[in-house]
A and B are shown apart, each in its own frame.
Chain A
């Protein structure tokens, strides 16, 4: 067996078989895994659609109760989340070119838009509860709140991640060398957005 040392013991320490970083590979594997997590939640929502025996329904009047879902409000929050993906790519671009001012602006914007989305969700959840739909009410309540709740938890984790990034930026400044980590965070953020695209269509728009 030929054993050849790489010319520089430093280089051999950072050697990778693909030229990509560990974190980027790990985040894509994670995203693949999350496809199954959300697929299970979405499947259950779809399986139980129309099978509640009590309580309110999503789109129609049933058992004398108003339909629950508010399409205009959710359309607005969907748009907000979509725009946060735009601000996220702009943030990443800024970090890559070393633009300290705009990296901060766009990161903060993304965090703000994400928080706005969460605000819309909090409003939505509380108004549903007032109208008689709780997570315990019926199959619709259980599946709806669990699915959108876990999505919201993912958004929250993303916002915390963004805030941590901003904190690091304030402390020592983010530069091109952080591009990979911002990239990884951006991938997570876009994935969370893309899951909402699926949820918005399957839960809100399709009856």
Chain B
């Protein structure tokens, strides 16, 4: 469909990918884990834990877990060339640092206790 898809080249690349891809069993487990975490996130919202100080960190940990699982497995960063990890993790890291810096600068995060 796009420029560089000639039959032999694509077939070779597809076969190379195939060796690395997880199969559908793995995908279904991944989907199950993601569902469980999502259920956990929503459940915790409706419990008294919502008022405690662990609420926000717990939610952040759960969503980071989901984020990482989708990237590693569905987007198969775990199985692919390191190049892609670099192209993604680099900008992601700087972006997160920028968000945190902005939250400090606008007073949403205290710099001292």
Contact = CB atoms under 8 A, between A and B. Distances in A.
A touches B (Cβ under 8 A): yes
Interface of A: 14, 18-25, 28-29, 31-33, 35-36, 39, 42-43, 46-47, 49, 71, 75, 78-79, 82-83, 85-86, 88-90, 93, 96-97, 168, 176-181, 183, 186-187, 190-191, 193-194, 197-198, 200-202, 205-207
B84 A24 contact: yes
B87 A205 contact: no
B24 A47 contact: no
Given A22-B4, A190-B70, A201 B41 contact: yes
Nearest to B87: A28
Contact of B34 (A14, A19, A82, A205): A82
**Would you call the interface of chain B mostly helix, strand, loop, or mixed?**
helix
Nearest to B98: A39
A51 to B, nearest CB: 9
16 contacts: A14-B6, A19-B16, A21-B4, A28-B84, A47-B103, A86-B28, A86-B30, A90-B24, A93-B23, A93-B27, A96-B18, A180-B14, A181-B2, A190-B74, A194-B75, A201-B59
B75 A190 contact: yes
Given A42-B99, A93-B21, A177 B27 contact: no
A35 B92 contact: yes
A207 B59 CA distance: 11
B54 interface: no
Nearest to B12: A19
